[in-house]
Structure 1
Amino acid sequence: MRAIPLLALLLSGWFAVPAHADEAQDWLTRLGLAEQQQSFQGTFIYERNGSFSTHDIWHRVQDGQVRERLLRLDGSAQEVVRVNGRTQCVSGTLIAGSGDSPDSHAHALDPQTLKAFYDLAVIGKSRVAGRNAVIVALAPRDQYRYGFELHLDRKTALPLKSLLLNERGQLLERFQFTRLNTSVVPDDPGLQPSSECLPVAASSDKEQQVDTPQAWRLDWLPPGFKLTNSHARKDSQTNVVVNSLMYADGLARFSVFFEPLNGAVATESRTQLGPTVAVSRRLVASEGEVMVTVVGEIPIGTAERIALSVRQGAAPAKS
Structure 2
Amino acid sequence: MRLRLAVVAMSLMFGSAYTISLESDAESQEFSAGVGSELLNQMTHSHRELNYRAIVSYQVGDQLNSYRITHTVRDGKEFESLESLDGSHQDLVYHGHDINCVHPGPQLIRLFGGEEEQGFYRYYDLDVKGAARVAGREAVTLMIRPRDVYRLGYKLSLDKETGLLLRSDIVNQQGKVLERFQYVMLDLNISADEPVVADAREVQHRDIKPDGVAVQAIARRWQPNWIPAGFTLAQSENNDEAAMTYTDGLAVMSVFVEPLVNTEAGQAVIAEGGMRRGASVSYTVAFPDQGRFATVVGEVPMLTAKQVAKSLTWAVQ
TM-score normalised by L of structure 2: 0.75
Distance 1:129 1:201 in 2: 30
Name the CA distance, whole Å, in 2 between partners of 1:115 and 1:78: 39
Matching residue of 1:90? none
Hey, what's the Cα distance between the residues in 1 that align with 2:178 and 2:302? 13
Change (3 A) 1:121 1:290: same
CA displacement at 1:116 relative to structure 2: 2.8
Partner of residue 312, structure 1: 314
**Cα distance in 1 for residues equivalent to 2:62 and 2:315:** 41
Per the alignment, in what secondary structure is the counterpart of residue 116 of structure 1? Answer: helix
2:285 is equivalent to residue 281 of structure 1: yes
Q: Name the counterpart of 1:154.
A: 160
Q: CA deviation at 1:123?
A: 1.6
Are residue 31 (structure 1) and residue 43 (structure 2) matched? yes
Q: Secondary structure at the match of 1:175?
A: strand
User: What SS is found at the alignment partner of 2:288?
Assistant: strand
Offset of 1:161 from its aligned partner?
0.7
Give me the whole-angstrom Cα distance separating, in 2, the residues matched to 1:176 and 1:145. Answer: 22
Shift of 1:16: 8.9
Runs of 4+ in 1 over 6 A off after TM superposition: 230-233
1:218-257 correspondence to structure 2 within 5 Å:
218-229=224-235, 243-257=242-256
Counterpart position of 1:78: 90
Shift in Å, 1:68: 1.1
Q: Is the 8 A contact 1:275 1:297 kept in 2?
A: yes
Residues 154-173 of structure 1: matches in 2 within 5 Å?
154-173=160-179
1:177-188 correspondence runs (5 A)? 177-188=183-194
Change (3 A) 1:52 1:294: same
Report the Cα distance in structure 1 between the residues aligned to 2:153 and 2:96, rounded to whole angstroms. Answer: 27
2:31 to 9, 19, 26: 19
Q: Which has the higher strand share?
A: 1
Per the TM alignment, residue 182 of structure 1 is displaced from its structure 2 partner at its CA by 1.3
State the Cα distance separating 1:62 from its structure 2 match.
2.3
Please report how far the alpha carbon of residue 63 of structure 1 lies from its aligned counterpart in structure 2 after TM superposition.
Answer: 1.3
Q: Deviations over 1:9-55 (max 9, x none)?
A: xxxxxx99453433322221111121232221111100012110000
8 Å CA contact 2:93, 2:202 repeated in 1? no
Alpha-carbon shift at residue 275 of structure 1 (Å): 0.8
Q: Give the distance between the partners of 2:235 and 2:221, measured in 1 at CA.
A: 14
Question: Pairwise mapping of residues 1-319 of structure 1 onto structure 2 (< 5 A)?
Answer: 17=29, 19-83=31-95, 85=97, 108=106, 110=109, 112=113, 113-189=119-195, 191=196, 193-195=197-199, 197-199=200-202, 213-229=219-235, 243-264=242-263, 265-285=269-289, 288-313=290-315
For the residue of structure 1 that corresponds to 2:130, the secondary structure is strand
Pairwise CA distance, 1:130: 0.7
What's the offset of the Cα at 1:194? 2.9
Calculate percent identity across the aligned residue pairs: 32
Check 1:140–1:16 CA distance in 2 against 1; reply closer, same or farther (3 A cut). farther
Amino acid at match of 1:41: R
Q: Decide which moves more: 263-272 or 62-71.
A: 263-272
CA 1:313–1:125 in structure 2 vs 1: closer, same or farther (change >3 Å)? farther
CA distance in 2, matches of 1:49, 1:149: 17
In 2: Cα distance, 1:77 partner to 1:164 partner: 27
Consecutive unaligned residues in structure 1, runs of 5 or more: 1-14, 87-105, 204-210, 234-241, 315-319
What SS does the aligned partner of 2:38 have? Answer: helix
List per-residue Cα deviations over 1:218-260 (Å, max 9, x = no partner): 1111111111017676xxxxxxxx7111111111001111011
- The SS at the match of 1:115 is helix
How much does 1:212 deviate?
6.6
CA shift for structure 1 position 186: 4.8
In the aligned structure 1, how far is the partner of 2:158 from the partner of 2:96?
22
User: What's the CA shift for 1:273?
Assistant: 1.1
Cα RMSD, aligned residues only: 2.7
State the SS of the aligned residue for 2:78.
Answer: strand
Runs (5+) with no aligned partner, structure 2: 1-26, 99-103, 114-118, 207-216, 264-268
Contact 1:58 1:186 (8 Å CA) reproduced:
no
Return the offset for 1:107: 6.2
Q: Which amino acid aligns with 1:258?
A: V
Counterpart of 1:33 in 2: which secondary structure?
helix
SS in 2 for 1:26: helix
- The alpha-carbon deviation at position 151 of structure 1 amounts to 0.4
